[in-house]
Amino acid sequence: MKKKKKFPLQWQAFTSTLSTTMVLILLGLVVLCVLTAKNVAGAVRENLIVTITLNDEVGHSETARIRDMLKTERYVNDTKLIPAGQVLDEQIAAIGSNPEDFIGFNPYYTEIEMSMVSDYANSDSLTWIVKELKKKFPEVTDINYQKDLVDNLNDNLSKITLVLLTLAGLLLMILVALINSTVRLSIYSRRFVIHTMKLVGASWGFIRRPFLARSMWIGIISAVVASAILLIGVHMAFNYDESLRQFITGESLLVMVGSVFVLGILIMLLCTYFSVNHFIKLKEHQLYER
């Protein structure tokens, strides 16, 4: 009789752990997708180039000084110096002829290509950055960047981020509902035990304690299994395409695992707390209702 009584509880614990693990895997995937999309957006923004053209009177030492000063600016990610001769060579390769043959001199000037920190790669920031650079460096004759490309890129990235966050919110609500149903079904089978404990004078906290402890362990085990499956999946993805490492960072994986653990345990405890309270409040005749 003792074995028959234990088996249903063990089976319920197993099914609860399995369903919770599957739910946490989905949640972890969404969190990882949101973080990866953010990293991809940052990488794309940092590839946007702002070209600074210097006048022809600027010497090598002055050009080096300007470049060094640019590197110290908070909005600059990296700089690349392109001498006037290199600009001419690039134009010759592009148009197939040498302008010097017609006008007798190199019409191009030395340029500094500047990549931006991702947070500043937007039209509003670039507008005041251009004004600041022109004011700070009189040697600058022109500053160019692809404004339409910047606007379209940021609009598209904002839409993608909004869609992912909306999906994450909807999925979280669905996950809470699924876990809550699983927990309530598990506690429903022990409603008579809860009622008996209430009849002998047990406090609500005393009645809830074993259920909360069991749910916490189910949450922990589910989070461990879900995190292991997710990390194995990421490792397999890295083996398939090594370039994914620049977008799926160690920090992203840490946040994903942390989210799985925190949400898994928290949702299990909250669902158990409210479900047990619901069955404690039931009258005796309500215990037989489904």
Q: What integer pLDDT is reported at residue 40 of this predicted model? A: 82
Q: What integer pLDDT is reported at residue 4 of this predicted model? A: 45
237 DSSP assignment: H
Q: How many CB atoms lie within 10 A of CB 32?
A: 21
Kindly report the backbone phi and psi dihedral angles of residue 136, in degrees, each rounded to the nearest multiple of 5, phi listed first: -80, -30
Q: What integer pLDDT is reported at residue 193 of this predicted model? A: 77
How many angstroms separate the most distant Cα atoms in the chain?
105
In tens digits, the chain (290 residues) has pLDDT values of 444 444 455 766 777 788 888 888 888 888 898 888 888 878 877 788 888 888 877 778 888 888 888 888 888 888 888 887 777 777 777 777 776 667 766 667 788 888 888 888 888 888 888 888 888 888 888 888 877 777 787 788 778 878 878 887 887 787 788 778 877 877 777 777 777 787 777 777 787 888 888 888 988 999 999 999 999 999 998 888 888 888 888 899 999 999 999 988 998 888 888 888 877 776 765 566 65
Q: What integer pLDDT is reported at residue 94 of this predicted model? A: 73
Q: What integer pLDDT is reported at residue 5 of this predicted model? A: 46
Q: How many CB atoms lie within 10 A of CB 22?
A: 16
How far apart, in whole angstroms, are the C-alpha atoms of residue 106 and residue 82? 14
Compute and round to an integer the Cα radius of gyration of the chain.
Answer: 31
Which domains can be identified in the chain, with CATH numbers?
2-43+153-288 (no CATH), 49-145 (3.30.70.3040)
User: What residues are paired with 140 via a beta bridge?
Assistant: 54
Name the token pair of 40.
Answer: 């991809």
